[in-house]
Chains A and B, each alone.
Chain A
C-alpha cells in the first residue's frame, strides 16, 4: 500500500514536472479525406485530358479503400493550380487532409507534361511535387503513377496502381467456354487479348522482373508451358510435357520456373532453369504435390500436398528436402501464394462445401480468413502485398467466375470489372 502510494507519487511527479502528458492509443481509422480538384490544362482551365487524368487518380485512390476523395461539388475553389500556394482556408472546412493540385499540358514536341503537388491542408506544407513527361496515349499510366506517388507519400507503403492484371477471359456457353488469355490495367482499362481461344489456357503468372508471363496450355495432346512477352507478343515454348503440367510460377529472380508434373497418379514439384532448360525434381513423395510458390527471398517454397492424408500446405527449402506442414485446420488448403512482403502466405481453403481465401504466416501461425463464399479461388497479390485479387464463382446455370479484390485486412471487397467472365487472375509487378 505504502509502496504503491510512493510509486504513484513518483510517477505523478514525473508527469507533472514535464507537462500534461497524454497517451493516445486509439484513433479513428478511416479513409483519408482528400481533395482532388480537376487538373488544369495548358490554357489554365480544366480540359478533357486534364480532367481525365484527375478522374483516374481519384478512382485509383478511392478503390484502394484508404482514401475518401471529396465530392468536387463541395469545393469552394473549383480548381487548384499547381503553381502557387492554395488557399487552405477554403479546403480546411471540407475536412480535406490532403489536396492534390495539378496540371496536364501539351509540350511543343507532341508529348504531354503532367505535374502536381500534394499538400497537407492542415499544416500547409507541400508533401511532394513531381513532373512527368509522356506520350499522350499513355495518359492513364501517368495518372496511375501520380496516384502511386500520392498513395506512397500518405500511407508509407508502395502503391500498386501502375500495374496490370493478366487473367483467363471466359466467354460463350457454360458447357463450351472459350478461354482466352487477356491483360488489362488493374482498374480494368486497356483490355486486350493475348491468345485467340484455340487452346485451353491455365494459370497465367507474371514474371517478377519483366513484362513477361508464363502459363500452361493444352494444345492438342500435350501440355505445354509457355513464356509470353506482353510487349512484343513473342511466345516462347519452355517445354512439352507428356503428362499434365500444372501451375508454373516464376522464382523471384525470374530465372527459374517451379511447377508440378503429373506422373502415374502422383504429382511432384520441379524446378526449371529457364536458361539451361534443366529440370530438377524437388519433391519425391508418392502423393500429389502441386501449386508451388517461392518466398520473396527465393529461399523457400510453399506448396500444397496430400501426403498427410488431406490436402494441406507445406514449406520446404527452395532446393527441396524435408517439408514442414503449416496448416492444421479443418478442410483442404490449396493454391498457396507467398506475399511479396514475405510475411504471409495466401491460400484457398475448402471446408464444408464453401471456399474461402485466407492468409497464414509461413510458420503456420495467425491464420485468418479474408473472404468466404460458394466458390472463391486463386489468390494473387498486389505488388505491395496489401491487396489480394481472386476469382469468385456464383452458383447456377447462368453463373460464371468474376474477379474480385479484398484487402489484407479483410475489408474493402470489390469486384474488378471485366467484359466477360474471368478467372485465374495474376497481378503484375509495378510497371516502371
Chain B
C-alpha cells in the first residue's frame, strides 16, 4: 500500500517532470481581452426627432416675442450698404506714342449709397404667426425661457392652469414640459410627459425615420446640389476649399433665411468658394422633394461643400 502510494507519487512526479522537459515552451493559453461595447438599439427617429416636441412648444411663447417673425421677413433685402469702392487707380494707359500719362487724382465720388428700406415690421403679426410660422427654431434653450415666463404672465399662458381639468391630451403642453425638463436636468416636471410623448403619435407624427429614409434624403439633396453648385474653377488651392453652409428650411422646402457660413477659411479664395456654395443652395431652393412628413429631420441642414474630388486639388 505504502509502496503503491509512493510509486504513484513518484510516477506522477515523473510525468510532471517529463512534461516540464518535453514541453518547455508550450504557449500559455492566452485569452484576448475583448473590449465590451455597450450597444443600444435605438430607433433613429429618437435621435433625429428630438426637436419635434419643441417646435410646437414654441408656439405658445411666440406672441410675446415678435423677434423671430421680424427675422423671417428681413432676408429679402439687405444689399448695397457699401458704396462702390473708388480705387485710386485711374486707368490711364500709356498711349503708344507718348510716355504714359500719370494717373490723375481721382475725386472719390462714391455713387450714393443705396438706402436699405426697413421692412415694414408688423408686430401685430404674431397672433397668426405662431400657428403658421414654422421657422420657429426648436432650440431647447428658448423653451426654457418660455417656461419661466409662464408664471409671470397671467394672461395668455393661463391655459396651463386649466389643463388639469381637461381630459383632452394637449401635445403643446407636453412639449413645453419636456423642453423644460431638458435644461433643468430632469427635475420634477410632469412624469406623465415621457410615456405620452412616445405613445402619442400626434405630438411626434414625423418621428419614424429609418436609416434608409435618411440616406434617401441625403441622396436627393446631393443630386439636387450637384446641379446647382458651380465651384470656383482653376483655383490652384481648390483642394483646400472646404466650406460648411447651414440652412434652415420652411415646411414647403423654401429657405427660412439666408444661408449661413458655418465653416470656411478666411482668405479671399475661401470667401469665393463660400459664395459659390451659398449661391448653390439658393439656386437649388425650394427643396420641395423632401418628404413633408419628415420635416423635423430636414428643417436644419448642414451642407459640406468639398471641391477636391471634382477639381483634383
Contacts and interface: CB of A to CB of B under 8 A. Distances in A.
A67 to B, nearest CB: 11
A341 B226 contact: no
B174 interface: no
Given A122-B283, A126-B80, A19 B230 contact: no
Contacts, number: 219
A431 B91 CA distance: 10
A131 B303 CA distance: 37
B243 to A, nearest CB: 9
Interface in A96-129: 97, 111, 114-117, 119-120, 122-129
Interface stretch (B9-17, B121-129, B231-239): B231-239
A409 B230 CA distance: 16
A25 B309 CA distance: 6
Contact of A20 (B92, B95, B218, B231): B218
Interface of B: prevailing SS = loop
Given A17-B47, A25-B306, A126 B221 contact: no
A114 B90 CA distance: 10
Interface residues on B, range: 35 or more
A12 B302 contact: no
Given A28-B230, A156-B269, A341-B236, A129 B96 contact: no
Interface string B254-290: 0000100000000011001101011110110000000
A138 interface: yes
Contacts of A3: 37
A122 B279 contact: yes
B85 A129 contact: yes
B301 interface: yes
Nearest to A112: B91
Contacts of A178: none
Contacts of A131: 84-87, 106, 108-110
Contacts of B5: none
A210 B190 CA distance: 81
Interface string B202-241: 0000000001001001100110011111111111100000
B301 A23 contact: no
Interface in A214-249: 230-232
A346 to B, nearest CB: 15
A83 B115 CA distance: 11
Contact of B79 (A116, A125, A157): A125
Contacts of A18: 302
Interface string A1-41: 01101100100110011111111111111101000000000
Given A6-B37, A126-B80, A134-B90, A24 B230 contact: no
A150 to B, nearest CB: 12
B115 to A, nearest CB: 9
A155 B311 CA distance: 13
Contact of A22 (B94, B111, B302): B302
Contact of B95 (A19, A32, A83, A137): A137
A110 B112 CA distance: 23
Nearest to A97: B279
A66 B47 contact: no
A145 to B, nearest CB: 5
Contacts of B83: 129
A84 B114 contact: yes
Interface stretch (B59-67, B97-105, B154-162, B176-184): B97-105
Contacts of A63: none
A26 B303 CA distance: 12
Given A16-B48, A156-B268, A24 B303 contact: yes
B165 interface: no
B230 A343 contact: no
Nearest to B101: A135
A103 to B, nearest CB: 9
A133 interface: yes
Nearest to A124: B79
A96 B40 CA distance: 50
Given A123-B279, A343-B236, A432 B306 contact: no
B307 interface: yes
A416 interface: no
Given A97-B279, A124-B79, A2 B226 contact: no
A407 B230 CA distance: 18
A182 to B, nearest CB: 13
B145 interface: no
Contacts of A341: 236
A22 B303 contact: yes
Contacts of B79: 85, 119, 123-126
A142 interface: yes
11 contacts: A24-B280, A25-B309, A26-B309, A29-B231, A82-B84, A120-B279, A126-B82, A128-B84, A138-B92, A141-B91, A231-B100
Closest 10 CB pairs of A and B: A129-B84, A27-B229, A16-B47, A19-B300, A122-B282, A124-B79, A141-B93, A134-B91, A156-B272, A132-B91
Given A20-B297, A135-B101, 20 more contacts: A2-B37, A3-B37, A6-B37, A19-B301, A22-B218, A27-B225, A82-B84, A84-B114, A85-B114, A114-B91, A117-B84, A119-B79, A120-B275, A123-B278, A123-B282, A131-B86, A133-B104, A134-B93, A135-B93, A155-B232
